[in-house]
Amino acid sequence: MWQPRVIMQNGELLPYAEARVHPMSLAMTYATAVFEGLRAYRNPETGAFKIFRLAEHVRRLQAGMKVMRMDRRFEVDEVAALLTRLIRANEPDDDVYVRLLVYVEALGLMAQTGPVGFTAAASPRERPKYAETGMSLGVSSWTRLSDNASPPRIKATANYHSARLTQLQAKADGYDGALMLTPAGKVSEAPIACFFMVRDGKLITPGLGSNILESVTRDTIITLHEELTGQPVAQRDVDRSELYFAEEAFVCGTGQEIIPVVAIDRLPVGDGQPGPITRRLQKTYFDTVRGLVPDRHEWLTPV
């Protein structure tokens, strides 16, 4: 597997181990940071790399920076140029995971809004091990963040404190992962992925009002499913007990891609095996991100 060579800080390429953020910065002390996780997939036929849905990731970053009142803005073309330079300099020979982290570098009082710095890293990322077998989830006793406390719709670093506690509890309890409920007790999402389930043959996912991240992959799945089947995806509240009625379920995200869920709270989902709707979406998703089918939505940006 290829190894990262260089990392980018504020536009400069450095040896990977030499990136630095001051411990007294707002970024470190108050988690005044927002980030994106993106993937550049290698087309196995041409060897070319393309970043998947770059524009949508940058738009979410812009929104996150606005919510956090950072006094800088990134444009799509600017990020495309920066990430192209980063990825080429690392000379990958396989898929690339890119993390773009933006933060207030100022040292001192909490209310400062700049200067804003950024770090972009490219690394290999193994395929999640549960992609084939599926994973078990447990509903967590940790509650998902609420919008007027720490807005979950943006990818703020601070939101992952709660996600991490949730994940650690799930592992300690013997599950592969967790599902979180909103303060109102509705299903929200997994610590680093969105959730979908199938009931009566119909695909359902919690709505944006269920304290979820505004996920790019969730939007991709909704679009692909509607194109494949002509059926809309229901975006609505899901009760905890409705989880046990699911015929199929999966989680999805840029890092997780699509992972079947085969058990929830130790009850089997359907027959306890990844289901046909999930498998079909996995195949369509990989064909799409790798550019093996025509890019009808202009989702792929060449590196």
Site for ligand PLP, rule CB under 6 A: 37, 163, 189, 192-194, 213, 215-218, 253-255
Nearest distance from residue 2's CB to ligand PLP, in Å? 22
| Distance of alpha carbon 116 from alpha carbon 282, whole angstroms | 38
Smallest separation (angstroms) from ligand PLP to the CB of 38: 8
- Non-local CB neighbours of 51 within 8 Å, separated by 6+ positions: 38, 39, 40, 80, 83, 98, 300, 301, 303
Q: Which is nearer to ligand PLP, 8 or 221 (CB)?
A: 221
Q: Which is nearer to ligand PLP, 32 or 215 (CB)?
A: 215
155 counts as catalytic: yes
Q: For tokens 């009850």, name the residue.
A: 267
Q: How many helices (H) and strands (E) does the chain have?
A: 7, 15
Cα–Cα distance list, 220 to 86, 93, 223, 286 (Å): 25, 26, 5, 11
Q: How far is the CB of 154 from ligand PLP (least distance, A)?
A: 10
Catalytic residue among 66, 155, 186, 202: 155
Rounded to the nearest whole angstrom, what is the least distance from the CB of residue 37 to ligand PLP in the complex? 5
Q: Which residues are 170's β-sheet partners?
A: none
Q: What is the rounded CA–CA span in Å between residue 272 and residue 53? A: 32
Q: Among residues 115 and 207, whose Cβ is nearest to ligand PLP?
A: 207
Nearer to ligand PLP, 6 or 195 (CB): 195
Comparing CB distances to ligand PLP, the nearer of 33 and 106 is: 33
Question: Is 62 exposed, middle or buried (CB count within 10 Å of its CB: 0-12, 13-18, 19+)?
Answer: middle
In the complex, least distance from residue 8 CB atom to ligand PLP, rounded to whole angstroms = 20
State whether residue 160 is helix, strand or coil.
Answer: helix
Contact 172, 144 (CB under 8 A): no
Annotated active-site positions, please?
Answer: 155
